[in-house]
Amino acid sequence: MTTGLIPGEQTPEPQPTGEPMPQQRREPPGETETALHADNRPRSSVITARAAASFEPVGRSVATARSFVRDTLQGWGFADIVDDAVVLTSELVTNAVVHAGTHADVLCLRTEDGVRIEVSDRYPEREVPLQSAAVSMGSPDREGGRGLQLCAALATRWGVDYTPTHKNVWFQLNLPERPVGTRAAGPALPADLLPLADGRVRVAVLQIDRKGGISAWNEDAEELFGYPASDVIGKPLTDLAAWPHTPGTGTGIAEALQLSRWEGTYGIRRADGRVAQVYASHLRVRDTGGEPSTVCLLVRDHERAVLQTPSRVPAGDQTPSSDGQSTDPFEVFIGSPAPDDLDGLLQRTVERARDMLDGDSAFLLLATDDETELEVRASTGLPSARQRFARVPVEAGPGRYGSARMPAVHDDLAAVPGAVPLLADTGMRSVVTVPLKVEGRLTGSLGVAAEAPGRYTNEEALRLQFAADRIALAVESARLGELERLRRGSLSFLVEASDLLAGTLDRDQTLALMAQMTVPTLATWCAVYTIADQASEPYLSYVLHEDEELIDGIKSLLSKVPPPDPVPTPGARVWTAPGEVAHQAALRSSMRSLGLAGGPTHRVASGIGPTLATASAVGGETVVLPLVARNRVIGMLTLGKPTDEHFRQEILELAEDLSRRAALALDNARLYSERTAISQSLQRSLLPPGLPQIDGVEVEVIYRAAGEGNEVGGDFYDVFPYRAAGEGNEVGGDFYDVFPIGNGAYGFAIGDVCGTGPNAAAVTGLARHALRLLAREGLSGPAVLQRLNSAILDEGDRSRFLTLLYGELRTRADGSAELKVVCAGHPLPLRLRQDGTVTAAAEPQPLLGVIEDLELYEETVTLDPGDVLLCVTDGVTERREGSRMLGDDGLADVLTTCTGLTAGAVAARIMRAVERFASDAPSDDMAILAMRVPGIHQEA
């Protein structure tokens, strides 16, 4: 592995010529482990907090390390760099625990400028490049080795330190600079240019404590939002805030409250359930005791000028400053300081454009990468503000006035309906639009509209185009920055989504994960349809909404709508049916409630049909993405927005990536479920009908299956009830059987077929049924086993060898029992006498399924009252803990402690001792058959 140079720092020793050598740290042998994290940052940096964790060399450690770094940085308020830090940590920890196979130590150091993260492993081998050779980072397509490439691409500084026993890769991420600046005073303006506000401007003053709870709530806040102070004091502000947040872009409300100052727009849920758009200014303060809190000033969104007064300077080529030098036209138009985020820049742009041309509204659209559509990103003065991310074609009609690539002036939109789709039904009559271009490429469109016709001429179009030319580059730069942040956030999102989906093979859990990963990150609500086979109709399997109270209503609505067609074409397609049905249902409900539908006036009962809230929830854009796995459509993922909201293209592309991963995970879960169901069905077909009651003999069996039961075992059993532990408890490996033969005799058997799978299961079924048939024909034990041996050999390549203990039991008048036993390659049965002595009850003989001519014989064993016969499979005797094995002697030692116990208690004590012998889960099936002749005084 090559070491990385630290950009912008000096190497320890300047080289006279050639390329500088990689920075490495030399330490003497025997250095303590703390030296691994020695500080080699610039001495001016001060560590203000640290967090450390160590991770084992297993695959799941990568996800745990990502969560550790994410939680740590979010706790420090470093939301701007969380995604980069998570991606880099993921790659470096993967190199350590997966590729190098060692423990990984992660150390996070908070400084005044940002964060430094160190990832150490115990694999110090390295490749030091020659001074004259270029450092090769390897192919980006290979599986490993991308950690240093990502460090070089994303980190502010990075490097690799070596000791004789450790390798330490570190990287530094600096916080982005946030312009603080001072508020600029605006010029005196005529009254008709002043911003509009209500007669009584109310400013809500909230104070948020360290934990995010509301500690102060003034009277204006009560008036604006309808909550008395007693109802909200102590509650988190996040319970009331409707925060517009998409993955990788913007700042969340919790993060905004931790910043020293913040201004922007979001919503507050009123007491009547509606969302009031507010403009807020946050200031972080601390009291005399050092306790931090955040003071929030909020006004109605259209009164934002109370907190943020825009400059209303007429646009010109350049405005001379007081010192005689020209002022940047961009600063003249946008004002200073310029917003540092794309949404803020776009919103400031439309407001300045509206004021510059004295319009009633303004809007700005950004072009998609292929320049075929424009996406609504900012507007002011329009009810279509709710139509954020709606898309319109670049070429809306023939001629220059139908193309967003050329400036256009419309004197009266009533004469050309549909010329500007965004202004349909808004009351706007005249409009001027100009393109935003960078190096001849269309990047957006800026427009200003007025309610009166004939307001704009070519002169206004030239002024607006001049302003658009000045801001186009800044807008494109901010847009590319947003796309890059979204890409990084999407990468981190998909990495974690893949980990979650790969961590389960349960179908229902996979469906739940699909929905929970999309809501509310990608959509407001989602529904998952599944298709059992090509002849089946799509079935609504899962519905989720960010508001749990609306889930039942949406589920009821979708159940009345025909499911979308299972089209395998990749990509998202719009599905209008839910919105149309919801709108019609809401209209009918409203008419019934007003008595306009021919019936009496009444309120619509809750739970009967979709409510108005449900109609609003699904009234926005709804898209369907196919779930395609192994060239077959296995379902559809449906994503929806509330009324008049649309998806942005980047979110749809991220959802498409997620749908591909989710489809494969869902299909894997289906295949696993089918395989498990087949295995369990086959195993159940091998089970005996029940356990016979034998007068004078207690019989008990216990069975434990190894693993999760996804294989049909070669060991089989034939008795009920049986007890199994863990998942897949109907899939067995060992077998046992107790069945009546006739004339008061009972046959019993316990055995183990070699291997697992269908062939072993076939031998299991053959053995179980053959034993019963042959025994009931009156054949002796050796004859039964010899014929069974021939039947197994007749299976040819499908045959499996079989260890089997078979016997016949008859009770006697004196209370004892006589057993005739044949032990063919099986662990020997053990007899426990009343005095506590344990002896083998048979001798070993050849196993079945190997040689044709078997010479077998049976042995007679007498069980006196109080005696116990214990029969087990090799999963019991071969239980291991490291190099130790329970063995026959260990089993006999446990059996000596069972004197006086019933057959059930004996079997339970043996199983408990076997399970406690080792800490690991059993690697083989285990079967125990205990038979006991009760004494004169039967135990309770």
Is the separation of the CB atoms in 511 and 501 below 8 Å? no
**Is the pLDDT assigned to residue 17 strictly greater than 90?**
no
pLDDT of residue 719: 35
The answer to which of 48-62, 363-377, 451-465, 722-736 has the lowest mean pLDDT is 722-736
Which pLDDT band holds residue 381 (cuts at 50, 70, 90)?
Answer: confident
Taking residue 38's Cβ as centre, other Cβ atoms within 10 Å add up to: 13
| Residue 437, H or E segment | strand 430-438
Residue 505 has pLDDT above 50, yes or no: yes
- Residue 269 burial by Cβ neighbours in a 10 Å radius (0-12, 13-18, 19+): middle
What the block records as the tokens of 89 is 């940590």
Q: What angle do CA 909, 911, 912 make, to 5 degrees?
A: 65
Question: What is the pLDDT averaged over residues 167-174?
Answer: 90
The DSSP symbol for 850 reads: S
Mean pLDDT along residues 469-491: 83
- Secondary structure (DSSP) of 333-373: HH-SSPPSSHHHHHHHHHHHHHHHTT-SEEEEEEE-TTSSE
What would the pLDDT profile of 171-201 be if each residue is shown by its tens digit?
999 887 755 443 344 556 677 777 777 778 8
- Residue 816 near residue 807 (C-beta atoms within 8 A): no
Q: Report, as an integer, the average pLDDT of 591-601.
A: 55
Among 254-263, 427-436, 644-653, which range has the highest average pLDDT?
A: 427-436
- How many Å apart are CA 324 and CA 328, to the nearest integer? 13
Question: Cα(332)–Cα(337) distance, rounded to whole angstroms?
Answer: 11
User: From the CB of residue 113, how many other CB atoms can be counted at a distance below 10 Å?
Assistant: 17
Q: Which of 397, 345, 391 is nearest to 368 (CA)?
A: 391
Of 299-313, 341-355, 485-499, which range is least confident? 299-313
> Greater confidence, 400 or 918?
918
Q: Which residues contact 692 (CB under 8 A, 6 or more apart)?
A: 738, 739, 740, 746
Nearest CA to 582 out of 532, 525, 629 is that of: 525
Under 8 Å between Cβ of 452 and 494: no
> In whole angstroms, what is the distance from residue 880 CA to residue 917 CA?
7
What is the pLDDT averaged over residues 823-828?
Answer: 92
pLDDT tens, 701-716? 888 776 544 444 444 4
Surface-to-core class of residue 806, CB atoms within 10 Å of its CB (0-12 exposed, 13-18 middle, 19+ buried): buried
Region 906-927: what's the mean pLDDT? 87
- Residue 939 pLDDT > 50: no
Share of the chain above pLDDT 90, in %: 18
Residue 684: CB atoms within 10 Å: 10
pLDDT band at 730 (very low <50, low <70, confident <90, very high): very low
Q: Is the predicted pLDDT of residue 35 greater than 70, yes or no? A: no
Asked whether residue 806 carries a pLDDT value surpassing 50, the answer given is: yes
Three-state DSSP state, 106: strand
Total number of residues shown for the chain:
940
pLDDT of 861 reads 92
- Describe the crossing of helices 82-94 and 60-75 by its angle, rounded to 10 degrees: 150
Tokens of 293: 């809190």
| CA–CA distance, 327 with 119 (Å, rounded to integer) | 48
The pLDDT score that the predictor gives to residue 351 is 86
- DSSP structure class, residue 431: E
In DSSP terms, 49 is beta-bridged to 110
Asked whether the predicted pLDDT for residue 458 surpasses 50, the reply is yes
CA-to-CA distance for 593 and 616, rounded, in angstroms? Answer: 17
3-state secondary structure 286-316: ECCCCCEEEEEEEEEHHHHHHCCCCCCCCCC
Specify the DSSP class assigned to residue 134: P
pLDDT of 936 > 70? The answer is no
| Per-range mean pLDDT, top range of 31-45, 306-320, 410-424, 890-904 | 890-904
Question: For the residues of 518-572, what is the DSSP string, one character each?
Answer: HTTTT-SEEEEEE-SSTTSPPEEEEEEESSGGGHHHHHHHHHTSPPPP----SS-
pLDDT reading at 792 higher than 50: yes
pLDDT tens for each residue of 92-145: 888 888 777 888 899 999 888 889 999 998 776 544 444 444 444 444 444 445
Confidence of residue 606 (pLDDT cuts 50, 70, 90): very low
Mean pLDDT over residues 493-522, rounded?
84
Q: Which residues pair with 266 in a beta bridge?
A: 278
Task: From 580, 641, 578, select the one nearest 390 (Cα to Cα).
Answer: 641
pLDDT value of residue 318:
43
Using CA atoms, how far apart are residues 92 and 4, in angstroms rounded to an integer?
13
Asked whether residue 931 carries a pLDDT value surpassing 60, the answer given is: yes
- The candidate with the shortest Cα–Cα distance to 284, out of 178, 174, 185, 173, is 178
* Angle formed by the axes of helices 342-356 and 458-502, nearest 10°: 160
**Per-residue pLDDT, 392:** 79
Confidence of residue 329 (pLDDT cuts 50, 70, 90): low
Predicted confidence band of residue 731 (pLDDT cuts 50, 70, 90): very low
Q: Is the pLDDT of residue 727 over 50?
A: no
| pLDDT band (50, 70, 90) for residue 862 | very high
Query: Which pLDDT value is given to residue 314?
Result: 39
Residues 6+ apart with CB under 8 A from 681: none
Q: In whole angstroms, what is the distance from residue 366 CA to residue 446 CA?
A: 9
Contact 294, 253 (CB under 8 A): no
Quick check: 907 and 700 in contact, CB under 8 A? yes
How many percent of the chain have pLDDT more than 70?
A: 77
Rounded CA-CA distance 584/174 in Å is 53
Do 729 and 721 touch, CB atoms closer than 8 A?
A: no
Query: Among 534-538, 588-592, 598-602, which is the least confidently predicted range?
Result: 598-602
pLDDT digits (tens, 9 = 90+) for 249-288: 345 788 788 887 777 788 898 888 888 888 888 888 888 8
* Cβ–Cβ under 8 Å, residues 712 and 731: yes
What sign does the CA torsion over 763, 764, 770, 771 have?
positive
pLDDT value of residue 715 = 46
- Model pLDDT, residue 1: 32
pTM of the model: 0.47
Q: What is the mean pLDDT of the chain?
A: 77
- Average pLDDT of the segment spanning 359-364: 89
State the average pLDDT over residues 55-70: 83
Cα separation, 515 vs 525, whole angstroms: 8
pLDDT score at 31: 37
Is the confidence at residue 319, as pLDDT, over 70? no
DSSP, residue by residue, 829-845:
PEEE-TTS-EEE-S--B
Please determine, for residue 777, whether its predicted confidence score (pLDDT) is greater than 50: yes
Residue 240 CA to chain centroid, in angstroms?
26
Count CB neighbours of 29 within 10 A: 7
CA-wise closest residue to 752 among 703, 699, 709: 703
The confidence score (pLDDT) of residue 217 equals 95
Identify the residue whose tokens are 């490049």.
129
| Beta-strand runs (E) in 664-801 | 698-704, 734-742, 745-753
- Is residue 422 within 8 A of residue 384, CB to CB? The reply is yes
pLDDT at 40 over 70: no
Question: 16: Cβ–Cβ under 8 A, 6 or more apart, which residues?
Answer: none
